[in-house]
Copies of this chain bind each other. A is one copy, B any other.
Amino acid sequence: MNFSYTNEMQEWLRSVRTFMDQEVYPNEAVYEAQLRAADDPFAYVPEVMESMKAKAKESGLWNLFYPDETYGAGLSNLAYAPLAEEMGRSLIGPEVFNCNAPDTGNMEVLARYGTEAQKEKWLHPLLAGEIRSAFCMTEPEAASSDARNIEASIKKDGSDYILNGTKWWSSGAGDPRCEVLIFMGKTDPDAPTYEQQSMIIVPMDTPGIEVKRMLPVFGYDDAPHGHAEINFHDVRVPESNLLVGEGKGFAIAQGRLGPGRIHHCMRTIGAAERALDILCARADARAPFGRALSEQGVIREWIAEARIEIEQARLLTLQAADRMDKYGNKTAKKEIAMIKVAAPNTALRVLDRAIQTLGAAGVSDDFPLARHYAAIRTLRIADGPDEVHKRAIARQELEEQRKV
């Protein structure tokens, strides 16, 4: 048992941190300004994003999320964790390093399950950061915490598949660079429960795809990325676009979720750390009743509790990453479920207190607090709500206790 970072990990960390300091933070306002100046923020990508990406790529800080050297930096989950944390401190950070969801998850799916042709066409441009992608699983009419409820259909028709259904919260589908999406639907509603679903690759410009609207998150449209509601009406794609084979959708989804969840947790901890920075700086700067906020007992309690909670959430995340590295995602599922619950709740508490410390400025966009709050609030829902994960943790705990 050893809690120190290796020299190599520290070296990576220094590089990412320096890049964040020199490139990302100073450009947050620039990014926002360029976006707001656009006629249609969903038809435009701020130029500063592409220039930051170019610099990150050049510096070798690119695709760090991918654990296999063929496609990425070859870092273990444990090694990647502190880097993702750094990126997560800024809402524009992950994309700069080509480490943003849902593209990371889609790249993993294509790398693990894609044919050579599929990789050539979609994986390589994604790895190069040239295109973006979306993932279409959640549906408005189904309780999506239970994948069995999916209603969208994928029907064979000659050498094609025809897709029908409505998806929403297809994040990233608003981006003008989004050229492809992965669609989950049922190929056989009569198959065994977990073999009814399949996943298929769908080019964004296929006829029959209608982006109905962009869903706001606490008022944020998250342009140009966006969270789309999409109608699929007789959308026809060749059978070669199917991933792995019919009935493999659920299994692919499971494999996709582990790393996706831990990446979210790492970034979330970064957001919490930044909120604590902002809280402390403001507490030093303001003295409403003649005494700096940072001298006041209640604020000090908040700072201490934030520090304690963040440390604990980080350690739990690192432990989960370590177990994933050592024993695989399946064995580590309890650990993954635990951080899926712990990290967002921790970050929301810290963010809420940072907002309270800043007062009116905290709920505005002058600081990245309200926006992070909204984004992280969705993590208590996405990929299964807290309650579903807690139930799974309890079930496993009870089983383990019975064995003793």
Classify chain A's interface size. 35 or more
A149–B220 touching, CB < 8 Å? no
**Residues in chain B near residue A280, CB distance under 8 A:** 397-398, 401-402
Q: Which of B144, B218, B289, B311 contacts A359 (CB 8 A)?
A: B144
A146 interface residue (CB < 8 Å to B): yes
A356 interface residue (CB < 8 Å to B): yes
**Residues in chain B near residue A311, CB distance under 8 A:** 316, 319, 338
Query: A368 to nearest B CB, angstroms?
Result: 12
Query: Which one of A45-53, A87-95, A253-261, A297-305 is at the B interface?
Result: A297-305
B3–A303 touching, CB < 8 Å? no
A307 interface residue (CB < 8 Å to B): yes
**Residues in chain B near residue A389, CB distance under 8 A:** 304
Task: Report the bound CA distance from A283 to B394 in whole Å.
Answer: 11
Task: Report the bound CA distance from A168 to B362 in whole Å.
Answer: 13
Chain A positions 1 through 41: 1 when the CB is less than 8 Å from some CB of chain B, otherwise 0 = 11111100100000000000000000000000000000000
11 contacts between A and B (CB under 8 A): A1-B3, A140-B361, A145-B289, A218-B374, A277-B401, A298-B298, A301-B391, A304-B389, A305-B390, A308-B341, A356-B386
A interface, CB within 8 angstroms of B = 1-6, 9, 78, 138, 140, 143-146, 149, 168-169, 215-221, 276-277, 280-281, 283-284, 286-289, 294, 296-301, 303-305, 307-308, 311-313, 315-316, 318-319, 322-323, 326, 338, 341-342, 355-356, 359-365, 370-371, 373-374, 377-378, 380-382, 385-395, 397-398, 401-402, 404
